[in-house]
Amino acid sequence: MHDTATRHIESHFQSSELVRDVVIGMADGLTVPFALAAGLSGAVGSSHIVVLAGLAEIAAGSIAMGLGGYLAARGDAEHYDSERLREEREVVERTRDEEEEIYEIFEQYGVQRNESEPVLEALKRNPPAWVDFMMRFELGLEKPAANRARQSAAVIAFSYIAGGFIPLLPYMLLAHAGDALRASVGITLVALFCFGAIKGRLTGSGMLRSAIQTVSIGGLAAAAAYTLARLLSGHSSA
């Protein structure tokens, strides 16, 4: 009963890839449509035109970002598969070299050869486990989830859409683009702060620190894109 009461239970965050995809999609969704809308606000007075352009950008951007996430995840899976095939051949064809690599891995953790020999013998009796060990500790590769590519594409695309609608919302509610721009700046900064705080909570990096970092990076990116859009709109009008 004492063992049950004092059992140590570790709690680790296991969805880092999901958070990464949400961050990629949401961050771009918040900044790119905002910059486009802000740039157009200086050239047109109607919020209706800004909304149409923003919706078109969100559609195109979410597809492009989702496709990029899909291809990146597929590339990771193909890389893992090719490296695993190579390791499977090497444990058969170059057994001695692979044994030396096992010793070298353990030596990095201060484990002597005579101490790691029982582990090596156990791995040699189970070749798939041996390959798994080499993939993780020699190459630093983890097997991707079977549906990783589709999941990554969907999460990034939908996060981009969700983020993109936030800076566009004032333009949907206010007729004058100038008024909508001021409201969009405020709501986008608040959204970046909240998004950063949530990200910090999930990843354990600290809510306030993550929120300030997200606002700073997202604000700088949006300001740079806004400045570029205004310069381009100014040159085109001239």
Q: In angstroms, rounded to a whole number, what is the distance separating the alpha carbons of residues 45 and 141?
A: 53
Q: What is the DSSP letter of 7?
A: -
Residue 4 has pLDDT above 70, yes or no: no
- Copy the structure tokens of residue 155: 């999460």
**Quick one: pLDDT at residue 66?**
92
164-214 confidence digits (pLDDT tens)? 999 899 999 888 877 888 898 889 888 888 888 887 777 677 788 888 888
**CA separation (Å) from 183 to 113, 170, 189?**
66, 6, 10
Q: In angstroms, rounded to a whole number, what is the distance separating the alpha carbons of residues 102 and 120?
A: 7
22-33 confidence digits (pLDDT tens)? 888 888 888 888
Contact 161, 54 (CB under 8 A): no
- Copy the structure tokens of residue 151: 């999941």
pTM score, two decimals?
Answer: 0.74
- Copy the structure tokens of residue 180: 């909508």
Burial class (CB in 10 A: 0-12, 13-18, 19+), 42: middle
Contact 164, 29 (CB under 8 A): yes
pLDDT bucket at 98, cuts 50 / 70 / 90: confident
Residue 13 has pLDDT above 80, yes or no: no
Give me the percent of the chain exceeding a pLDDT of 90.
12
Question: Where does residue 116 fall: left (phi above 0), alpha (psi -120 to 50 degrees), or beta otherwise?
Answer: alpha
Q: In angstroms, rounded to a whole number, what is the distance separating the alpha carbons of residues 224 and 31?
A: 10
Q: In angstroms, rounded to a whole number, what is the distance separating the alpha carbons of residues 114 and 139?
A: 24
Contact 160, 168 (CB under 8 A): no
Q: Where are the domains of the chain?
A: 16-228
Calculated CA dihedral for residues 206, 27, 224, 220, nearest 10 degrees: -10
Cα-Cα-Cα-Cα dihedral sign, residues 16, 151, 222, 181: negative
pLDDT bucket at 234, cuts 50 / 70 / 90: low
- Of the two residues 10 and 221, the one the predictor is more confident about is 221
176 DSSP β-pair partners: 46
**Quick one: pLDDT at residue 130?**
81
Residue 44 burial (CB count, 10 A): 13
The 3-state DSSP class for residue 36 equals helix
46 DSSP β-pair partners: 176
SS3 content of the chain, % helix, strand, coil (to 5): 85, 0, 15
